[in-house]
Amino acid sequence: MNKELTTQFMTINMGPQHPSTHGVIRFIIDTDGEIIHRCDPDIGYLHRSIEKIAEKVTWQGFVPYTDRVDYLCAMNANWAYSMAVEKMIGVEAPRRAEFIRVIVAELNRISSHLIAIGTTAMDMGAFTPFIQLLREREYINDLLEMASGARLTYNYICIGGVMADLPLGWSEKCEEFIHHFDLAMEQMNRLVTYNQIFINRMANLAVVSPQMAQAYNLVGPNLRASGIKRDVRRDAPYSVYPELDFEIPVGKGLEGEVGDCYDRFFVRVEEIRESLRILRQCLKMIPEGEVMAKVKKTIKPPAGHYYVRHETPRGDTGYFIQSDGTTSPYRLKIRSGSFTGMSIIGELAKGTFIADLVAIIGSLDVVAPELDR
């Protein structure tokens, strides 16, 4: 007796504890063999109610919590929140403090991108470059520890400026690192960026067109990889960035289509070069002077709502704060680049191999703590 053969999709779970998900994230995947039919991200495993905690602490007391929003770029998170409060109370950080902010933020941007490109390479099977990039990141951690006393969550940039001035000899050590790191980047490019095996895995995979990138509201390197030159440091300039000369790298389809996984990887490599360029300028231009403005111990901003944009390594990060005139925020909302990056994975994963999903996640540089908050 002949029966018609029927098949069905297999549902598998990727995560939440999975070496290639870059955090505690779960993906529910319907597969036909190794081909993905449906991919649903299941988030929330690292939700810590940080936005709600803001309502229960003072304006200054929330600064250390911003370190935990995105631990890979805590300096940028400190700065974004501090900028928002400074706007509310009408305080301007001293000029020397602004240069220090740019320096430590760009160092943190390099550090974050090293993790992004290193883990992506490791997920593709190249383990050695990841270890070498971690070694370079340790030099940055040394510099940031000299300035702030911490290596990951800094609490350094604060409302009104920075906690302390740079120690003696710090600028010289930073220049030594920049000179050394130029050579290290060339070595990394030979190992990974221009490696034909790596290119074959990443090129023409998960292409995001400019229209699709805007429809999903992508930001930062994920948006720029699709050929859209948009950067808050240029489009809504803040601090001393208008005085600095740097380019905004965009995807050019060097090895495949514009907006593929390789472009998203390569844009971050190019952004590291531009951050080094910014650092060189700031170390030459930094003036003498105070590093902290006069800020009242008890901050009570006028009632109203405020929004500040900041270009973190994950892209356009926004802090919306509503004040009711008391010593704590009435409401605080953080707009994070990882959230929009996660939202597009389900669409990009359709029709790809399970192994390719690993490359897609790595190319979007999703950080779970910033995603869940």
Mean pLDDT of 164-172: 92
Q: Answer whether residue 369 shows pLDDT above 60.
A: yes
For residue 117, what are the domain limits?
49-336
Res 15 pLDDT > 80: no
pLDDT score of 23 more than 80: no
| pLDDT tens, residue by residue, 105-154 | 999 999 999 999 988 888 888 888 888 899 999 999 999 999 998 898 89
pLDDT value, residue 341: 86
C-alpha 198/C-alpha 150 separation (Å) is: 35
Burial of 186 (0-12, 13-18, 19+ CB in 10 A): exposed
Instruction: Check which CATH number belongs to the domain holding 80 and give it.
Output: 1.10.645.10
β-pair partners for 42: 26
At residue 317, φ and ψ (nearest 5 deg) are -100, 130
216 versus 18: the higher-pLDDT residue is: 216
**Joined tokens for residue 204:** 């023409």
What is the tens place of the pLDDT at every residue in 45-92? 888 899 999 999 999 999 999 988 888 889 999 999 999 999 999 999
Is residue 296 a contact partner of residue 59, using CB atoms and an 8 Å limit? no
Residue 152 lies in a domain: yes
In this structure, is residue 192 part of a structural domain? Answer: yes
Query: Distance between CA atoms of 65 and 81, rounded to whole angstroms?
Result: 10
User: What is the reported pLDDT for 273?
Assistant: 93
Per-residue confidence at 99, pLDDT binned at 50, 70, 90?
very high
Mean pLDDT score of the chain = 90
Name the token pair of 202: 């990443």
Interval 171-211: pLDDT, tens: 999 999 999 998 888 888 888 889 899 899 999 988 999 99
d(CA 347, CA 334): 24
pTM of the model: 0.92
Question: Would residue 15 count as lying in a domain?
Answer: no
Residue 246 scores a pLDDT above 60: yes
Asked if residue 11 is part of any domain, the answer here is no
Query: How many structural domains does the chain have?
Result: 1
Tokens of 39: 């991919």
Give the range among 119-123, 166-170, 286-290 with minimum mean pLDDT: 119-123
Residue 358 within any structural domain of the chain: no
Two structure tokens written together for 171? 């600028």
Report whether pLDDT(1) > 70. Answer: no
User: What CA–CA distance (Å, rounded) separates 228 from 219?
Assistant: 10
Residue 361 has pLDDT above 70, yes or no: yes
Residue 271 included in any domain: yes
Q: Is the pLDDT of residue 6 over 80?
A: no
pLDDT per position as a tens digit, 210-235: 999 999 999 989 999 999 999 999 99
CA angle 114/136/252 to nearest 5° reads: 35
Bridge partners, residue 30, by sequence? 11, 38
What confidence tier does 355 reach under pLDDT thresholds 50, 70, 90?
Answer: confident
Determine, yes or no, domain membership for 362: no
Burial of 289 from C-beta contacts in 10 A (0-12 / 13-18 / 19+): exposed
User: What is the Cα–Cα distance from 138 to 187, expressed in whole angstroms?
Assistant: 17
Kindly state the percentage of the chain with pLDDT values over 70: 99
In a domain, 90, yes or no: yes
Question: What is the mean pLDDT of the segment spanning 328-338?
Answer: 90
pLDDT score for 2: 61
